[in-house]
Amino acid sequence: MADEDAVLLAVRRVRKAYGARLALKGVDLEVRAGEFVALLGPNGAGKSTLFQLLTGLFDADAGELRVCGEDMRRAPVRALGRIGVVFQQMTLDLDLSVEANLVFHARLHGLGGGESRARIADALARVGLAERRADRVRELSGGNRRKVELARALVHRPAVLLMDEATVGLDPASRRHLLAEVLALRAGGVGVLWATHLVDEAEAADRVLVLDKGEMRAAGSPAALVAAAGCESLAAAFLKLTGGDLMVDGT
């Protein structure tokens, strides 16, 4: 059983600017072992910027990011090695088979031979695609392509899983299936940071972080946020905190 008090991902006073525009204004957050944290915010809130920093695509202008105690700035290889990520935009090679995409990822993480094959088989079984391993990715539905990306993110057995608006473009049933797959990972101690602008996805979280205009507006369980805002639903609390557009079930 994972230590539920272990902080796997720690972001402290992180700031990031693009020219004169300040995208993140001293953001703090934590994700603990076995915890599903929803990062809820309207479009333009800074969610994608934060994920770009967490995945090493850009450096923060100030602040600290740690993954399993490893400083992203001082030990990026060790820190990034503990992260699995599914980006908003698909990053699979459509002309390769499902298995070949996962083999390539495994090799990037130094996995090969029998260990690689066993982990790939386990990951594909977890997402229900073991029988599609030889199919080319372009033959799969959008929902199954996302499942392949999730399987790929899990091959190297990360401590932290980052999901960046991963349900964009999926039908409601595929969204619910993907969310259920990720929620099930908590039992194994994986910490999840799930970025979304869809309120119904955030309702399933252990904690919700509301990000708006680069600032963290609120943090707590869905019920705590609703109570603190004096509202009857998380959707209403989100609107009160951000004044943003309401998005429920992809509509």
103 touches 120 (CB < 8 A): yes
Integer Cα distance of 170 and 39 in angstroms: 19
| 43: confidence class by pLDDT, cuts 50, 70, 90 | confident
pLDDT above 60: residue 119: yes
The total number of structural domains in the chain stands at: 2
Q: Are 77 and 94 in a shared domain?
A: no
Q: Are 69 and 96 in a shared domain?
A: no
Q: Are 78 and 26 in a shared domain?
A: yes
Domain stops at, among 98, 126, 157 = 157
- Mention every residue, 6+ apart, whose C-beta is less than 8 A from residue 114: none
pLDDT of residue 2: 44
pTM for the whole structure: 0.91
Q: Are 38 and 153 in a shared domain?
A: no
Domain stops at, among 157, 185, 209 = 157
Say how many residues make up the chain: 251
- In a 3-state reduction of DSSP, which class is residue 139? helix
* Residue range 195-223: mean pLDDT, rounded: 94
Q: Are 10 and 50 in a shared domain?
A: yes
- Phi, psi dihedral angles at 224 (to 5 degrees): -65, -40
CATH number at residue 180: 3.40.50.300
Integer Cα distance of 60 and 58 in angstroms: 7
Unique residue bearing structure tokens 């963290």? 216
- Phi, psi dihedral angles at 112 (to 5 degrees): -155, 180
- Could you tell me the residue range of the domain that residue 115 belongs to? 87-157
- In a 3-state reduction of DSSP, which class is residue 208? strand
Q: Are 15 and 128 in a shared domain?
A: no
Integer Cα distance of 53 and 16 in angstroms: 9
Q: Are 202 and 133 in a shared domain?
A: no
Q: Are 97 and 36 in a shared domain?
A: no
Q: Are 163 and 61 in a shared domain?
A: yes
139 or 168, which is more confident: 139
pLDDT of residue 245: 53
Handedness of CA 19, 209, 144, 97 (dihedral sign): positive
List, for residues 49-73, the tens digit of each pLDDT value: 999 999 999 999 999 999 999 999 9
